[in-house]
Chain A
């Protein structure tokens, strides 16, 4: 089944403790992206990657890192999490459809930083 898999689904951590949220897609998509979703603010892009070893900042990159060492994986790293990073996070990969790019999203990771 074509899908984007994120882990973990739920995570509670303490301020300053480094964490990684994994994202993997099995569709051979070149483009992958991370979003956070907050009430009243909608989906905001954190980082994106056009291909292996090519990453770029989105709208809200501060406090986050990413890497793209292989096509299928795009982990999100929080080196020193803070409470304002408490949010619902989504990974997405993108394919070409009808001349534009449709996204497949993962099921989300709900992160709480205390």
Chain B
């Protein structure tokens, strides 16, 4: 069974600070996705990374896929209250519809 460990579980920071959350596994994934879930809503896909070492940017969010495709990180620069939510990483095997989800990092950005 492939497992994804996310850290930290909870993070509370002040507006304007930077932060990084991590997603780690002992398994290799063909791709890794990040989702953000706001209270009372379903997760929304932010990004997919598919190549080892790949870096993708989405405004103030920077996503990186590890060289060995076993881990990923999400860095947020100058966090805003609108970034508050649950961040989930999810890994996929090659050609598979099935995703393995981490348990998430709950981020609170305090104004």
Categorize the interface residue count of chain A.
20 to 34
User: Chain B contacts of A43 at CB under 8 A?
Assistant: 43, 88, 101
Tell me, in angstroms, the Cα distance from A14 to B41 when the chains sit together.
Answer: 25
Q: Kindly identify which residue among A4, A40, A50, A107 contacts B97, using a CB–CB cutoff of 8 Å.
A: A50
In the complex, are the beta carbons of A108 and B97 less than 8 A apart? no
State the interface size on chain B (CB cutoff 8 A): 23
Number of A-B contacts (CB under 8 A): 58
Task: Give chain A residues whose Cβ lies under 8 Å from the Cβ of B97.
Answer: 31, 33, 48, 50, 94, 101
Q: Is the CB of A105 within 8 A of B43?
A: yes
Which B residues are CB-close (under 8 A) to A101?
92, 96-97, 99
- Residues in A whose Cβ lies below 8 Å from that of B102: 42
Q: A43-B101, A98-B50 are in contact. Are A106 and B96 (CB under 8 A)?
A: no
Contact with B along A58-96 (1 / 0, CB 8 A): 000000000000000000000000000000001010100
Binding site for B on A (CB under 8 A): 4, 31, 33, 40-43, 45, 48, 50, 90, 92, 94, 97-108
